[in-house]
Structure 1
Amino acid sequence: MIKDTSKQDSVVKSRTLSWKKAVGVIAICGTLAITAQVISVADNTGRSFERDALQFATVSRGDFVRDILASGRIVAANAPQVYSPEAGFVDLLVKAGDTVDAGDVIARVVSPALTNELKQQQAELARLQDGLAREQLEVRRETLTLNRSLELAKVTLDAAERENRRAQLSIKKNLISQIDLEEAVDDLARAKLNYRHAQQEVALGKDTLAFELAAASNLVERQQLVVDELQRKVNALEINAPVSGLVGNLMVQTKAAVVAQQALMTLVDLSAYEAQLQVPESYANELGLGMQVVLKVGASELYGKLSAISPEVSNREVTARVRFEHSDIDGIRQNQRLSARILLDQKENVVKVRRGSFMNAGGSVVYRIQGEVATRMDIRTGASSVNEVEILDGLSPGDQIIVSNYEQFENAPLVQLR
């Protein structure tokens, strides 16, 4: 008979944990908790990145300048071409790169046809001038004849009046017959008629002579104009430099045959420069004359305004000209390359952030930083410039976002930052 189980029990001594072992257990538990938290975040984000490999920017509020970038080069504001005035053979008196002053003879065109025509017209002018001189002598002769006939008619009239007075006195004293008196009266009437006709003939003759003289004079004047025009053309065969500067490209060789209005060379006026920009065609409709432009030439920063915009597109670009605000600019050269910022618009008191590669995703998504985690969120952007982007909705001033490329995040909702 078994009374109890006391025979089966054995006494076991209890062992208390030391305080060092207790601290170790607690540390292990804390590490496991932190590891579990990190693992939990990593599970939610799916991605973990070093901070040094990313770029960050802080959203701010202030003035926003909308601009675009363009490249271009320095060009001469005045680079005229020189043309041949007539057909002939050209003698070039300068070479490419020579310095010339305004008015210097830079080329000469030999035109035998024009020179021969000038000589022919000069000979015709001399013939007409001789004809005019002859006509002037004839006018003097005819005028003398007309005056003599008028004076003879006047003498005849005076004699007839004198005979008429004598006949009137004689008839009163019965010294002549009635027939002699009537004859004297008829002679007087005839003399008056002849004198009146002589006056009219002299007036008509002088008008005729004046007309013929004027006609001859007009022929001479007309021919003189022809000669003057040909002389001007011959003088223009010596081509003068229209501006002071450098000889650019030579478009013909010396002694070459040229036609009228054929380009001979280009001159470059070094006293005034402009900038020629190539602007992407997507901004063509936003460009306007007078817009401010900031140009970077080497280490210098210059300012100007749009002065001309090409109406056509070439190679998906629009050509624009910029006139410098100051003419006394040193250190720039023809065809020197430059970059430019064209200021399209300016806004005040807007929310903005520095532009970055995140805009490659369309500018509708950003990763906002909250502690060690960056959260993916939707935003709405407005105007963009070279350096900044306008934020319309989704972010507030003071928010910090990642502005580097988002492709590596693979659309993860959360990104762990280390």
Structure 2
Amino acid sequence: MDRELSATTKQVNKRKRYWQLGIAVALLALAVFGFRTLITPTINREALRTAVVEQGPVIATISASGVVVPEQEQVITSPIQARIEQVLLKAGEQVKTGDQILLLDRAYTQLAYDKLKDEQQLNQHKSVQLRLNLRKTLNQLASQLTIKQLRVKSLQAQLQDEKYLLKIGGTTQESVNQAELNLRIAQQELSEIQQDMATERELLKADEQELGYTLAMQSRSIEELQRKMEQAEVRATHKGVITWVKNEIGSTVNAGDVIARLADLSSYKIKATISDSFAEQLKVGGSTIVRINDTDLQGIISSIEPTVSNGIVTFYVALQDKAHALLRPSLRVDVFVTTASKGNVLRVKNGPYFNSAKGQQVFVVQGNEILRKPATIGVSNVDFVELEDGVKPGDVVVISDMAEYEHTEKIKLK
């Protein structure tokens, strides 16, 4: 027979059920927490690179490769076609103004020089002959002129006599007419001789001018050849260092061929190259930073080559301190071309994370955890990255490569 439980028994059973339910809930919570602990990734703190968010300027740049070159380099070319006879100085040697670098064989040019001298003397002799021939011709014409003048006077007298005789009836009109005709012919011949003399003088003047031009051109050619023969003793025109010299003794060079390069190592510039995809961001006068080890040198783009070679654009940077102690010929440097500049913004040191980040987010260290937070990434350079929002000054941001955790909300630190 069933009996109703007492109030005390019911109270005990009720408490017992509460305890059982509480233990079950506790075990369930413990299981959930343990599972979450098992699936939450963990990173060793020592393997992370972090940086503190701060305020400061960020100058956006694009990177280029550069090499230090002398600001001024003289290209020495061969003044003549010649054979290299002797090399007196080698690449790398310092020179002073007037130092001889190499010697060219001048035999071929000497022959051309001697030929021009002979032609000049021949033309000078021709000029003398012209004057002598003119003098002879003028003397002959002068003699003929005198004879014609005497004949004209004689015919004038005969005409007067004929007119007088006609007046007194001693001759006929035909004789007077004939005397007049003879006088006109003689006067015409006299005029022709005078014109011949004037023409001969003009011809002489023209021939002398032509010869004068020829002699002047020959003189210039002789002076040029003489200067080239002097330049065959190839000498430095200013103080510097030989960066290259054609040292193949016995080889033949043509006029205009480069035979040596001379650089002034007291000042330098940067020859930089960059992908043509950044060509539109380059402009003459644009600011640049040239980094040598940990030293930054300021500069501006002085010129940009108009042609693109194999997808590469070449430009030159003029340095503010073009004689800095770290500058050396052919030294490889990093060049950063400024594209934008921001003043007092939130920034963090650049690192591998920002090179691989695919979204607008950052990982912030909070105690023993790393939390993924949305953040807007702004302008950047090789040193700093702007964070427009999502962080505040003093936050510690992970800058290591976090590509494998880009979808993870929380990461444990150990």
Q: TM-score range, shorter-chain basis?
A: 0.7 to 0.9
Q: Which residue pairs with 1:131 in the alignment?
A: 126
- Tell me the secondary structure at the aligned position of residue 269 of structure 1: strand
The structural deviation recorded for 1:61 is 6.0
The structural deviation recorded for 1:76 is 0.9
Residues 1:46 and 2:40 are matched in the alignment = yes
Residues 1:66 and 2:60 are matched in the alignment = yes
2-structure distance, mates of 1:297, 1:164: 112
- Tell me the secondary structure at the aligned position of residue 233 of structure 1: helix
The alpha-carbon distance between structure 1 residues 412 and 327, as it changes in their structure 2 partners (threshold 3 A), is: closer
Q: Which residue pairs with 1:273 in the alignment?
A: 268
2-structure distance, mates of 1:188, 1:281: 98
Contact 1:160 1:184 in 2 (8 A): no
Q: Give the alignment partner of residue 178 of structure 1, picking from 163, 167, 171.
A: 171
The structural deviation recorded for 1:266 is 1.7
Q: Give the alignment partner of residue 298 of structure 2, picking from 295, 298, 303.
A: 303
Q: Give the alignment partner of residue 229 of structure 1, picking from 212, 217, 221.
A: 221
The alpha-carbon distance between structure 1 residues 166 and 284, as it changes in their structure 2 partners (threshold 3 A), is: closer
Select between 129-138 and 159-168 the one with higher mean Cα deviation: 159-168
Instruction: Give CA-to-partner distance per residue, 1:302-347, whole Å, 9 cap, x none.
Output: 3211223454356x86543211235565663323444433212224
- Tell me the secondary structure at the aligned position of residue 115 of structure 2: helix
1-structure distance, mates of 2:160, 2:312: 109
The alpha-carbon distance between structure 1 residues 324 and 335, as it changes in their structure 2 partners (threshold 3 A), is: same
Q: Which residue pairs with 1:202 in the alignment?
A: 194
Q: Give the alignment partner of residue 192 of structure 1, picking from 184, 190, 194.
A: 184
Q: Which residue pairs with 1:402 in the alignment?
A: 398
Letter in 2 for 1:67: T
Contact 1:75 1:274 in 2 (8 A): yes
Q: Which residue pairs with 1:82 in the alignment?
A: 76
Structure 1-normalised TM-score? 0.74
Contact 1:45 1:415 in 2 (8 A): no
The alpha-carbon distance between structure 1 residues 93 and 308, as it changes in their structure 2 partners (threshold 3 A), is: same
Q: Give the alignment partner of residue 94 of structure 2, picking from 96, 99, 104.
A: 99
Which one has a bigger Cα radius of gyration? Answer: 1
Q: Which residue pairs with 2:105 in the alignment?
A: 110
Contact 2:69 2:269 in 1 (8 A): yes
Contact 1:74 1:273 in 2 (8 A): yes
Q: Which residue pairs with 2:382 in the alignment?
A: 386
- Tell me the secondary structure at the aligned position of residue 203 of structure 1: helix
The alpha-carbon distance between structure 1 residues 99 and 351, as it changes in their structure 2 partners (threshold 3 A), is: closer
Letter in 1 for 2:140: T
Q: Which residue pairs with 1:120 in the alignment?
A: 115
- Tell me the secondary structure at the aligned position of residue 77 of structure 1: strand
1-structure distance, mates of 2:278, 2:272: 13
- Aligned residues, how many? 381
Q: Which residue pairs with 1:148 in the alignment?
A: 143
The alpha-carbon distance between structure 1 residues 104 and 164, as it changes in their structure 2 partners (threshold 3 A), is: farther
2-structure distance, mates of 1:117, 1:377: 84
Q: Which residue pairs with 1:412 in the alignment?
A: 408
Structure 2-normalised TM-score? 0.75
1-structure distance, mates of 2:404, 2:166: 150
The structural deviation recorded for 1:133 is 1.1
Instruction: Give CA-to-partner distance per residue, 1:227-283, whole Å, 9 cap, x none.
Output: 642552353132343443122222223444434444322211234421223446664
Contact 1:125 1:224 in 2 (8 A): no
- Tell me the secondary structure at the aligned position of residue 106 of structure 1: strand
Instruction: Give CA-to-partner distance per residue, 1:64-105, whole Å, 9 cap, x none.
Output: 310134453321122233232333322345312343345554
- Tell me the secondary structure at the aligned position of residue 69 of structure 2: strand
Contact 1:132 1:217 in 2 (8 A): no
- Tell me the secondary structure at the aligned position of residue 390 of structure 2: coil
Q: Which residue pairs with 2:20 in the alignment?
A: none
Instruction: Give CA-to-partner distance per residue, 1:156-175, whole Å, 9 cap, x none.
Output: 32333344445555665x3x
Q: Give the alignment partner of residue 353 of structure 2, picking from 327, 352, 358.
A: 358
- Tell me the secondary structure at the aligned position of residue 64 of structure 1: strand
1-structure distance, mates of 2:130, 2:186: 29
Q: Which residue pairs with 1:14 in the alignment?
A: none
Residues 1:157 and 2:152 are matched in the alignment = yes
Could you list the runs of 5+ residues in structure 1 that have no partner in the other structure?
A: 1-31
Contact 1:366 1:402 in 2 (8 A): yes
Letter in 1 for 2:126: G
The structural deviation recorded for 1:177 is 0.8
- Tell me the secondary structure at the aligned position of residue 119 of structure 1: helix
Q: Give the alignment partner of residue 373 of structure 2, picking from 377, 384, 390.
A: 377
The alpha-carbon distance between structure 1 residues 213 and 313, as it changes in their structure 2 partners (threshold 3 A), is: closer
The structural deviation recorded for 1:404 is 2.9
The structural deviation recorded for 1:139 is 0.8
- Tell me the secondary structure at the aligned position of residue 91 of structure 1: strand
Letter in 2 for 1:87: Q
- Tell me the secondary structure at the aligned position of residue 73 of structure 2: coil
2-structure distance, mates of 1:331, 1:280: 27
Letter in 2 for 1:130: H
Percent identical among aligned pairs is 18
Contact 1:121 1:223 in 2 (8 A): no
Contact 2:364 2:397 in 1 (8 A): yes
Alignment RMSD (CA, Å): 3.9
The structural deviation recorded for 1:372 is 4.8
